[in-house]
Amino acid sequence: MSGLFSSFNASILGLNANATRLSTISDNIANSGTAGYKRMRSSFHSVVLGGGGSYMAGGVRASTMRMIDQRGALAATNNPTDLAVNGRGFLPVTPQSALTAGGNMPLQLMTTGSFRPDAQGILRTQSGMVLLGWPVGPDGSIGTPPRDSAGGLRPVQITGDRFSSDPTTRVGLRVNLPANDTREGGDGSPRVMSMEYYTALGATERLSLSFEPDVPDTGQSNTWTMRITDPRNGDAVVGEYTITFSDTPPDAGKIISVTQADGAPGGAYDPETGTMSISVDGQEIDVDIGRPGSSDGITQMASSFETIAMDRDGSPVQTLLGVEVDERGFVQAIYDSGLIRPIAQIPVVDVPNPNGLEALEGQSYRVTGESGALFLWNAGDGPTGEVAGYALEGSTADVAEELTNMIQTQRAYSSNAKVIQTVDEMLQETANLKR
């Protein structure tokens, strides 16, 4: 009779195991359209019981696992901050409630998310998960943040860069000075022009440039004194240089040398780059006048004074139009002037055992002892993969596969119920023996 009762118990365990499997199937089907959802898988394990020589049915137990290491297909969207990791890595996030509480930001992980700016410009999902990244400095660097913890991560916020300026750091001059001015008999009048630049506050200012010829008593000197002055500060001289030109082929009209008197303002001329550095109210600007022997800069030809070209970098105050995220994880602010400036870098998080992560609501996960320690990689480096903007990762649940599993589960459940019914009938037959 013990064998009969063991059949009864084994079938009850079978009902429970298949009910668990049906729960995972229903969860998978319900989330077949949920971005970033990782399917649940049920595994059955037989239970073996010792019976002192007679066989005892042990039954079955079910265990479940979320297949976090499986990745869904990426689908294109029209939102630049819809993000997915094209690889095995994760995006770092934290609950928005942690920001309002003002305490530590617990690190959570996501493989994909639709991030949009809130009222403070912080990128977050509708479920309240805030995107984290390393802030990018004015020079475009992120410093040396820790890679084995979330200590250097901060919420990615874009309103702080709603308006921005791009100060001028370089000005290139292509000017022709009249060779006749440095001949004997010249009146020595300087040739004057102005040069605009952008300040750190986005204002447009100008510097004055004068080229004074050195007029010899006889012959021709081919020498000029260039002075750069700042009208905002009483025409203070910020750079003074002596430029000498060649008058023999093949370098006729091209710079031979640029010298500076002792104590003259301005940085030294670098013949390798053709530039000198001047300082205007603490703003350093490289002025490119051309290398010796080059025609791409200041020249001395014929009798005309002409400004051929003047180019400068920088821009005035500009308005933020939007942001995009590149494959390296840099959040790029795009301004109406065409300037593109990185404001944050999103690292990609990796753990040794993704399936050991603790699953939380909203397709987010938490590092556990079973998942192993985290490491923050630059996107595109190591084993983690790149960041994809304008994209969301689809669910890994396959409805056709889940419906097939449902049929199998239903049959197995019915079969276990049939065994219980059969055992009940056999026990009834046993009870009828005394009649």
At 191, list the tokens.
């040739």
Strand 306-312 to strand 112-114: parallel, antiparallel, or no bridges (unpaired)?
Answer: unpaired
Cα 160 to Cα 227, 321, 349, distances in angstroms: 39, 13, 26
User: CATH classification of 168-313 is 2.60.98.20, yes or no?
Assistant: yes
Per residue of the chain (435 residues), give pLDDT as tens: 555 677 878 888 889 999 999 999 999 999 999 999 999 999 898 888 765 667 777 788 898 999 999 999 999 999 999 999 999 999 999 999 888 766 678 999 999 999 999 988 899 999 999 999 999 987 788 889 999 998 899 999 987 556 667 889 999 999 999 999 999 988 899 999 999 999 988 889 999 999 999 999 999 999 999 999 999 999 999 999 999 999 999 999 999 999 999 999 999 999 999 999 999 999 999 999 999 999 899 999 988 899 888 899 888 887 888 899 999 999 998 888 777 889 999 999 999 999 999 999 889 999 999 999 999 999 998 889 999 999 999 999 999 999 999 999 999 999 989 988 888 888 887 777 766
Cβ 93 vs Cβ 110: under 8 Å: yes
Cα 295 to Cα 285, 304, 404, 413, distances in angstroms: 22, 16, 77, 88
For 356, phi and psi rounded to 5 degrees?
Answer: -90, 0
Residue carrying the six token digits 């990745």: 71
Cα–Cα dist 29/397, whole Å: 7
Cα–Cα dist 276/278, whole Å: 7
